[in-house]
Amino acid sequence: NAGVTQTPKFQVLKTGQSMTLQCAQDMNHNSMYWYRQDPGMGLRLIYYSASEGTTDKGEVPNGYNVSRLNKREFSLRLESAAPSQTSVYFCASMGQGGTEAFFGQGTRLTVV
């Protein structure tokens, strides 16, 4: 039972490079989320998808794009990475009742 799987676990990018963070869940959840975690800032919502086919901006969407590829997969893309995007990124999913979000193990991204 994998739950929420994120890839990669670690990544180092140079300023200006692009990359896509992948997330997949096997719990048949409708809602999926991308958060970034920074010291003293907690978990800040980047984008979320309440259901397949919809995406919405969260608290800090600038510099990111997302794709809800299907019900299972929700990807986060950095088109032109900046040092300010150095962070730990978490993907999460939540079922129809909206009572518990399940998180992946995180992706530690460093932009130099």
Helix (H) or strand (E) holding 21: strand 19-25
The residue among 35 and 64 lying less far from other proteins, judged by its C-beta, is 35
Least separation in angstroms between residue 28's CB and other proteins is 15
Least separation in angstroms between residue 26's CB and other proteins is 15
Q: Using CA atoms, how far apart are residues 94 and 111, in angstroms rounded to an integer?
A: 29
Residue 103 contacts residue 45 (beta carbons within 8 Å) = no
Which residues in this chain contact other proteins in the complex, by CB under 8 A?
4, 30-31, 33, 35, 40-45, 48, 50, 56, 58-59, 90, 92, 94, 98-101, 103-106
Least separation in angstroms between residue 62's CB and other proteins is 15
CA proximity to 11, closest of 88, 105, 96: 88
Least separation in angstroms between residue 104's CB and other proteins is 6
CA proximity to 20, closest of 86, 101, 107: 107
Residue 78 contacts residue 85 (beta carbons within 8 Å) = yes
The residue among 48 and 85 lying less far from other proteins, judged by its C-beta, is 48
The residue among 41 and 69 lying less far from other proteins, judged by its C-beta, is 41
